[in-house]
Amino acid sequence: VALCVGDDGGRILAARRRPTEPSGDPVRDVARLAEDARALVAEAGLTLDAIDGVGVSLPGPLDPKAQRVVNPPNLPGWRDVPVRERLGEAIGRPVFLENDANAAALAEWRFGAGRGFESLVYLTLSTGLGGGIVHGGRLLRGRTWSAGEVGHLPLEWNGEPCACGLRGCAEAYLGGRAWARRLAHVTPRDSRVAALAGGRDAATPVHVVAAAREGDAFALAELDRWNDHLARVIAILAMSLDPEAVILGTIAAAAGEELVLAPVRERVRAHVWPRVADGLAIVPAALGERQPYYAGLCAALAGFGVLDEA
């Protein structure tokens, strides 16, 4: 859990981070969040009166009408929790929820790699594959707040099973957790990836990137396959949305220019119209470890309509 006190100019006045440690009881979890928030406001030298509102960036799916959390897989016991209401009661200020990929897209747009663009797609590329779409200067939320869930567009029709229950989802090929599951099967036991991970069962994208940096052939082939799937998702989004920028999150940002960004750009260019490829920025996320703070801040700013340029 990352908490901060900040303002609409992106100034962070106080920040802290702690393990999530879900208790299994969402009432207790929300009460603890409220305590942390009060303490952080005091640490920033402010009182709650000075706080306009609270933004919460959290895993979807969200219920758009009730502003509830709908059973996120990594928060046990959190089923249909009315976070907005509960946290609002505990803190006494307006609360705004945003799903984490959308909030991160807003954060990169306003304070990170997306500054100055009027339209962009942000891809989390972390353990899962979340996405957020900004178009015409505002977040594109969709009918059920599911717009930008490009991790679950069918990349391979009836392809690999995905954790979400569907088959062939982009996340089943690009999410870090799915990739680690694959690595546990396909990594040669005597490979550099297995050595770095201390056994192929523990191999993750981090080890693939590290081994690829050393020139390891298996790691390079795995990255090539991943880049290919990523280019495919970007090409689909480029021809559908024609955005100014595509911003790539964790794995791509960590792997960097030579291993991911340059080969992905080249592959996208070969699979979309030149007019769409020319001038399309494909860039790494810029906020790094600070992104969660800005994501929460942006959830609040979006709630107040401060980010809406439309």
DSSP state of 150: G
280 binds a copy of itself (CB under 8 A): yes
Residue with token string 């799915």: 178
Q: Nearest to residue 107, comparing CAs of 256, 267, 299?
A: 299
Residues 6+ positions from 138 with CB-CB distance below 8 Å: 307, 308, 309, 310
Give phi and psi for 125, each to the nearest 5: 50, 45
Binder among 68, 84, 86, 152 for a copy of itself (CB under 8 A) = 152
Residue with token string 């209401």: 85
The least distance separating a copy of itself from the CB of residue 239, rounded to whole angstroms, comes to: 4
H helices present in the chain, as ranges: 26-43, 83-91, 100-111, 171-174, 176-186, 192-197, 205-213, 217-241, 250-256, 262-269, 274-277, 291-303
Binder among 82, 271, 286, 290 for a copy of itself (CB under 8 A) = 271
Binder among 237, 246, 264, 283 for a copy of itself (CB under 8 A) = 237
Task: Return d(Cα 103, Cα 93) in angstroms, integer.
Answer: 19
Residues 6+ positions from 302 with CB-CB distance below 8 Å: 55, 96, 98, 103, 106, 139, 308
The least distance separating a copy of itself from the CB of residue 103, rounded to whole angstroms, comes to: 17
Q: Which is nearer to a copy of itself, 31 or 153 (by Cβ)?
A: 153
Task: Return d(Cα 78, Cα 15) in angstroms, integer.
Answer: 25
Q: Which is nearer to a copy of itself, 102 or 127 (by Cβ)?
A: 102
Q: Nearest to residue 302, comparing CAs of 66, 138, 130?
A: 138
Q: Nearest to residue 304, comparing CAs of 13, 55, 9?
A: 55
Binding segment toward a copy of itself, per CB under 8 A, in 11-19, 85-93, 98-106, 152-160: 152-160
- According to CB under 8 A, which residues from 6 to 35 bind a copy of itself? none
166 binds a copy of itself (CB under 8 A): yes
Binding segment toward a copy of itself, per CB under 8 A, in 77-85, 148-156, 194-202, 295-303: 148-156
Binder among 102, 119, 124, 191 for a copy of itself (CB under 8 A) = 119
Binder among 240, 257, 258, 288 for a copy of itself (CB under 8 A) = 240
269 binds a copy of itself (CB under 8 A): no
Q: Which is nearer to a copy of itself, 19 or 116 (by Cβ)?
A: 116
Q: Which is nearer to a copy of itself, 54 or 245 (by Cβ)?
A: 245
The least distance separating a copy of itself from the CB of residue 273, rounded to whole angstroms, comes to: 6
Task: Return d(Cα 210, Cα 300) in angstroms, integer.
Answer: 37
The least distance separating a copy of itself from the CB of residue 299, rounded to whole angstroms, comes to: 19
Q: Nearest to residue 125, comparing CAs of 184, 191, 177?
A: 177
Binding segment toward a copy of itself, per CB under 8 A, in 5-13, 151-159, 200-208, 210-218: 151-159
Binding site for a copy of itself (CB under 8 A): 61, 119, 131, 133, 135-136, 138, 140-150, 152-154, 157, 164, 166-168, 228, 232, 235-237, 239-244, 271-273, 275-276, 278-280, 310
